[in-house]
Amino acid sequence: MTDFIEKRMPPVLKVEDLAVAYKVRGGEVEAVLNVTFDIQRGESHGIVGESGCGKSTVAWAILKFLGDNGYIKCGSIKFQGQELVGKSDEELRRLRSDQISMVYQDPMQALNPSMRIGDQMKEVLTVHRGLSSSAAEKRCMEMLERVAMPDPANVMLRYPHQISGGQQQRVVIGMALLNNPALLIMDEPTTALDVTVEAAVLDLIADLRRDFDTAIMYITHNLGVIARVASRIGVMYAGQMVERATVEDIFKSPQHPYTQGLIRCVPKLGTDKTGSILYPIRGRVPPPDNRPAGCIFSPRCDYVRPLCREQRPALRVIPGTNNETRCHFSEEIDASQWQPSEEIELPTLSGRKVEEQPILQLDNLKKYYPVKGNSLRDVLGLGEKRYVKAVESASFVVPQGKTLGIVGESGCGKSTLVKTIIGLEDATSGTAKFLGFDITGNISGRDKKLIQELQMVFQNPDSTMNPSFTVGQQIGRPMRLFKTAPKHRIRAEVIKLLQAMRLGENYYDRLPRQLSGGEKQRVGIARALASRPDLVLCDEPVSALDVSVQAAILNLLLDVQQEFGTTLIFIAHDLSVVRFFSDYVAVMYLGQIMEIGPADAIYRPPYHPYTEALLSAVPIPDPAAKQKRIRLEGSVPSAIAPPTGCRFHTRCPRRSLLPDPEICQTEPSWQMASDTHRIFCHHTLETLSSFEQVITTT
Amino acid sequence: MTAIPVIETKQPSRWLSIWKSVSIIFESRVATVGLVMVFFWILVGVISIFWTPYGPNAQDFVQNLPPNSTNWLGTDHMGRDIASRLMAGTQVILLKTRLPRSVASFPIPVGVAIWGVFGSLTLGTILGLNAGYRGGWSDQGIMQVLDALIAFPSIVLYLVVIAALGQGDLVVILAITVTGAPGVARLARSLTMDIKTRDYIRAAETRGENKWFIMFNEILPNARGPLLVDAMLRVGYAIFAIGTLGFLGIGLPPPDPDWGNMVNEARKNIFSNPVAVIWPALAIATLVIGLNLFADGLREELTRYQK
């Protein structure tokens, strides 16, 4: 089939043996080398890889957006048969505007904040196509309608900040398609969006591909997303493309050891820590100036042989499969026979007995932020007081030694909840007891002993450590502050902790800039554990990490919990990770806990309609899995004036099932599905139980 | 069980690592040129402590001579050798500060310009850190006062301080401190407001660290780079300010020669000896330009992508 098309017409894009380098102080860095691939008409070609593997650089090289210090070292990029390498900037500029479009990660940065959306979109047509203003306007309206924007005429008159993030991305995609480009490059277009919005945008992309016959180059790090949008996938590793195949072949029979490893790293939705193990890939990506001489993956490969260290394999089709792989021995590798190498750390879940004493009890905890108005009355303090209701009556109990996962889309109040518990904010009302002590006030009023028992792990590995201090100093600081170790023992204690984090003693004197993201996160965890806390709050500890590192960090946290009996509150937006990691899960929407219960109970009926929608939106790294399609309408309402009654009722897809939908305007009551499983909904348990399972894996 | 294969990074020796961080200056041609210019004047100053062609205050020659073989740069209106005075003039700016007679008869090391900048750096940083980190009313209060200070032309501030306290090296230092502090505070504040959003500050707060610890131990070390580059530029401005004060006749007190004062006196005799005014002006200009080039080059090199 592929051969047939190739004979008939040239591919839209054909990249051959591309190498891109950046000049830096004292030499140059080869970001990409020997990348070869092609994209056919109407095809959606995914490029997937971990951060720093050069996937964006390939996209920029096609457009020649390499900055002052980047240049194409060798290779050719043929676009519809024309060679792009060596073209003048002016020629490329014309090509970019008419034939190639790009969609970036952050829609807010792609749109001009000081221009109305209509004017920005029209500009594309009036400048490049020479259309009249009214004709352009008509085309833009059609396009907005095409990308499923509600009320296009109104949107045309608005400024970018007046529409939501998902809508902005729709506008950007619509703008990119206005010129009917032959090639559309999308660089992580949904990474900044919430799952439910992401799902809708991915649907849109799939739709558009069918209608417009545009070739799409889709770049992402997310295996679930790529499984949903791409028809063919190229897997990149350390600047090279290591495997290329159709989406089914990549996920069903990956041939390269790296691809196999990647797929083993991600938790499948529905698996949990007692039933399955995540296998991280050992070692780390080599820095671009220190790549191994032979196969680039050889230092981390479980099947490495002497030849791999000497000779760099070429991309070749593996006999008996449709996969192109850059591996010497793909035929001889049988993924089903794979055994984890002894070097990888795996958690040992010994089913340690924990007494189910509640350690943290929240009852009706509220956190409101006052909003400053702009009118004269507000300035004088006469106006009506308004509040952002960030957390609305949160009540739950966390038993000792267990993990509570909190999921929800951005702005649902999960971070505020954690900040209130740890004392960065004080609670507006309600009670919160930790170890029996009141913690509704902020940290300045708390006893040192209490502070010590409550620590936190942060999201961003690059900012979790102070760049000016060594690893040892930073881990030692809490020990010194809380006097958990005598002065002369601190160094020994820190090293012991480092070893528990699988970092050697030689990390003691390193500065943060000498560490990789995963290592920084390990140090962040070590610092949180240094004061031997009873409860550790983890605010998205793995969401900024690559999947192979994420698996290692999750395993580490599991081990820590086993060893120290620490209780964890784990915030994440990735439902598969939360499902895998947590004992209990709370689902939040707009400051309200919608459903809370044991992890396995949350992921099958009965569930709250919002949970159902979330589950249906999760991208699953398995093209064979069946997922029911439920998409939420509109966007999350403002937290200043949330809908009355059930906060979800304005978007609830299940509202019509109620005999009297008006009842949603009143506060629902908790439906007790079991002792520990509560659902905040007007539907009866019978109705909720009658929903069919969202995800069925085959 | 070590999971991460240790990539061998030998700890380099202390001297090597110091050299490594210093050597980035030489990556930038601009910074190197600036450094050479600054070092030239420091060297001249150090030599002048031990040796000058003639006594800087000795009135040995005919007045208002043009440059000749005995007096390389000519003589001034009192028959003093300009070259010797120019060399000695470096001292008060860069190398020594004279204390009032009543305190001590010997000078303390490091010149007026550098002490002045040090003062404004200290004061400005403390104010800026507090304003930036605490925010709210502290920020409002501190910044309003500093903005009011900026609203005055700096020359007026100099005049006010000197008129109130009289002439003297310490007074000039104080004047430079007061006029420089608002600028440093603004920079320190904006850096602090950026750094305080980082997670490691959250981590310190959740440990219950006190505010001063967070400001000085967690935030300040990370704001160091831009503040030092700014200080480098400010030394240039301070030298300029000392020149201005000298020109107005209210700068550093005699007997030590002062470049600004030299310009002022040469100006009065500009028709009989037009070249005399050029030398001290040139000295001020080269030193200030040298410092600016150095600071610019350094900043560029520090912000560049590093391998």
The model's confidence at residue A676, banded by pLDDT at 50, 70 and 90, is confident
With a CB cutoff of 8 Å and minimum separation 6, the contacts of B42 are B90, B94, B95
Residues in chain A: 698
Q: Which residue of A has its CA nearest to B10?
A: A506
Hey, are the CB atoms on B1 and A502 less than 8 Å from each other? yes
Q: In sequence order, what E strands does A400-534 have?
A: 403-407, 429-434, 437-438, 454-457
Hey, are the CB atoms on A25 and B209 less than 8 Å from each other? no
At B307 the pLDDT is 38
Local confidence pLDDT in tens for the 307 residues of chain B: 334 444 444 455 678 877 877 777 787 888 899 999 999 999 999 998 888 888 888 888 888 888 888 888 888 888 888 889 999 888 888 888 888 878 778 888 888 889 999 999 999 999 999 999 998 899 999 999 999 988 888 888 888 888 898 888 888 899 999 999 999 999 999 999 999 999 999 999 998 888 999 999 999 999 988 898 899 889 888 888 888 888 888 888 878 888 888 888 888 888 888 888 899 999 999 999 999 999 888 888 777 654 3
Three-class DSSP category at A187: strand
Contact yes or no for B246/B283 (Cβ under 8 A): no
Handedness of CA B149, B153, B159, B160 (dihedral sign): negative
Q: How many helices (H) and strands (E) does chain A have?
A: 24, 26
For residue A387, list its beta bridge partners. A370
Query: What is the distance of C-alpha B165 from the center of its chain?
Result: 22
Three-class DSSP category at A394: strand
Q: Each residue of A538-548: pLDDT tens digit? A: 988 888 888 88
A4: pLDDT strictly greater than 50 = no
Hey, are the CB atoms on A459 and B199 less than 8 Å from each other? yes
Q: Which residue type occupies B264?
A: N
Hey, are the CB atoms on B199 and A464 less than 8 Å from each other? yes
What is the domain partition of chain B in residue ranges? 26-98+256-307, 111-253
Instruction: Measure A464 CA to nearest chain B CA, in Å.
Output: 5
Q: For the complex shown, is ipTM > 0.85?
A: no
The model's confidence at residue A475, banded by pLDDT at 50, 70 and 90, is very high
Between A467, A482, A506, which is nearest B6 by CB? A506
**Across chain A, what does the average pLDDT equal?**
84
Hey, are the CB atoms on A289 and B307 less than 8 Å from each other? yes
Query: What is the distance of C-alpha B146 from the center of its chain?
Result: 20
Q: What is the DSSP letter of A629?
A: -
Tally Cβ neighbours within 10 Å of residue B157: 16
With a CB cutoff of 8 Å and minimum separation 6, the contacts of A655 are A609, A649, A661, A664
Contact list in B for residue A451 (CB cut-off 8 A) is 206-208
Q: Which residue of B has its CA nearest to A300?
A: B5
Hey, are the CB atoms on A464 and B305 less than 8 Å from each other? no
The model's confidence at residue A210, banded by pLDDT at 50, 70 and 90, is confident
CB-based contact, B5 to chain A, within 8 Å: yes
Between A29, A468, A519, which is nearest B307 by CB? A29
At A527 the pLDDT is 92
Q: Which residue of B has its CA nearest to A504?
A: B2
At A586 the pLDDT is 93
Average pLDDT over residues A135-146: 88
Residues in chain B: 307
Q: Which residue of B has its CA nearest to A344?
A: B3
Contact list in B for residue A504 (CB cut-off 8 A) is 2, 4, 6
Which residues in chain B (203-242) have CB-CB distances under 8 A to chain A?
203, 205-209, 218, 221-222, 224
Which residues in chain B (23-82) have CB-CB distances under 8 A to chain A?
24, 27
Hey, are the CB atoms on A423 and B206 less than 8 Å from each other? yes
Hey, are the CB atoms on A519 and B11 less than 8 Å from each other? no
Lowest model confidence (mean pLDDT) among A218-232, A629-643, B39-53, B223-237: A629-643
Contact list in A for residue B205 (CB cut-off 8 A) is 424, 443
At A358 the pLDDT is 87
Q: Of A137, A87, A103, A99, nearest to A117 (Cα)?
A: A137
Contact list in A for residue B3 (CB cut-off 8 A) is 282, 343-345, 502, 552
Between B206, B221, B304, which is nearest A455 by CB? B206
Hey, are the CB atoms on B206 and A344 less than 8 Å from each other? no
A575: pLDDT strictly greater than 60 = yes
Q: Each residue of A323-342: pLDDT tens digit? A: 888 888 888 877 777 777 66
Report the percent of chain A where pLDDT is more than 70.
95
Between A26, A282, A423, which is nearest B3 by CB? A282
Record the tokens describing residue A389, joined without a space: 């209701």
Lowest model confidence (mean pLDDT) among A276-285, A481-490, B203-212: A276-285
Hey, are the CB atoms on A283 and B5 less than 8 Å from each other? yes
Contact list in B for residue A27 (CB cut-off 8 A) is 307
Hey, are the CB atoms on B305 and A24 less than 8 Å from each other? yes
At B254 the pLDDT is 78
CA gap B192, B134 in Å, rounded: 10
At A345 the pLDDT is 64
Between A455, A466, A531, which is nearest B218 by CB? A466
Q: Which of B1, B2, B4, B20 to mutate to test the interface with A (most CBs of A within 10 A)?
A: B4
Contact list in B for residue A423 (CB cut-off 8 A) is 206
Instruction: Measure A295 CA to nearest chain B CA, in Å.
Output: 18
Between A22, A460, A519, which is nearest B199 by CB? A460
At A298 the pLDDT is 87
At A6 the pLDDT is 46
Q: Which residue of B has its CA nearest to A527?
A: B203
Residue at token pair 């929903």: A691
With a CB cutoff of 8 Å and minimum separation 6, the contacts of B56 are B48, B80, B81, B84, B85, B87, B88, B256, B257
At A348 the pLDDT is 65
Contact list in B for residue A478 (CB cut-off 8 A) is 207
Instruction: Measure A506 CA to nearest chain B CA, in Å.
Output: 9
Q: What is the DSSP letter of A274?
A: T
Q: Kind of pairing, strands A678-680 and A592-598?
A: antiparallel
CA gap A439, A447 in Å, rounded: 10
Handedness of CA A247, A248, A249, A252 (dihedral sign): positive
At B188 the pLDDT is 95
CA gap A239, A49 in Å, rounded: 10
At B213 the pLDDT is 93
What pTM, to 2 d.p., does this model score?
0.83
Q: Which of B25, B28, B206 to mutate to test the interface with A (most CBs of A within 10 A)?
A: B206
For residue A131, list its beta bridge partners. none
Hey, are the CB atoms on A282 and B5 less than 8 Å from each other? yes
Contact list in B for residue A458 (CB cut-off 8 A) is 199, 202-203
CATH 3.40.50.1970 for domain B111-253: no
A343: pLDDT strictly greater than 70 = no
Q: Each residue of A487-531: pLDDT tens digit? A: 888 999 999 888 888 788 888 888 888 888 888 988 999 999 898
Instruction: Measure B211 CA to nearest chain A CA, in Å.
Output: 11
